Amino acid sequence: MNWIPLRVIASPVSIVLLVMSVLTLVRGHNEPGGGFIGGLLAASGFLVHALAFGPARGRRLLTVPPPVLLGLGILTVTVSGLFGLLQGQAFLTGQWWFEVPGLGKLSSVLIFDLGVYIVVCAAALQLLLWLLDAPSVDSDKEGEPS
């Protein structure tokens, strides 16, 4: 898309969405919100950039391909569940370690939310970038005679 107003606001809007996604992630492990909504906000930030400058530039901005991020997110969720097992409790039992000023208690729940954040962001980005790369219906009809 080559719409100049979108290109002008894309970077600031993307930054605001990414900051809000991190704040939602951090707030959410003690209150509603967290990894799922934060991941969608992060994907939206990258999507705004990809809409303004093209999917190829959006992929370059990621630096890590979405399928790799998916694996990393699933690994993070799995590791968060192991902390309960190490304490002799059930898998995914929450473990709280110590207080971090401004963040709350550092816990396995926050690590779980981080994994969900990564998985949701990566899955949404994979789908959205795939849709941006897909040829439009109108472009298929351009070569056909009227």
Q: Each residue of 77-118: pLDDT tens digit? A: 999 999 989 999 999 888 888 888 877 778 888 899 999 999
pTM of the model: 0.84
Count Cβ atoms below 10 Å from residue 5 Cβ, excluding itself.
8
Are the C-beta atoms of 89 and 127 separated by less than 8 Å?
no
What's the distance, Cα to Cα, between the start and end of the chain in Å?
26
Confidence of residue 20 (pLDDT cuts 50, 70, 90): very high
- For CA atoms 125, 61, 42, 110, the dihedral sign is positive
Ordered by start, the domain boundaries in the chain are 4-134
Helix (H) or strand (E) holding 99: strand 96-100
- Is the confidence at residue 70, as pLDDT, over 50? yes
Mean predicted confidence (pLDDT) in 58-62: 88
Mean pLDDT within 28-40? 81
Q: Which residue has the tokens 């919100």?
A: 33
Name the percent of the chain lying above pLDDT 90.
Answer: 53
pLDDT value at residue 13: 96
pLDDT band, residue 47 (cuts 50/70/90): very high
CA distances (Å), 44 to each of 9, 77, 120, in order? 14, 22, 11
What is the spatial distance between Cα 20 and Cα 26, in angstroms, rounded to a whole number?
A: 10
Distance CA 130, CA 55 (A): 9
Tokens read off for 26: 């951090």
Q: Per-residue confidence at 138, pLDDT binned at 50, 70, 90?
A: low
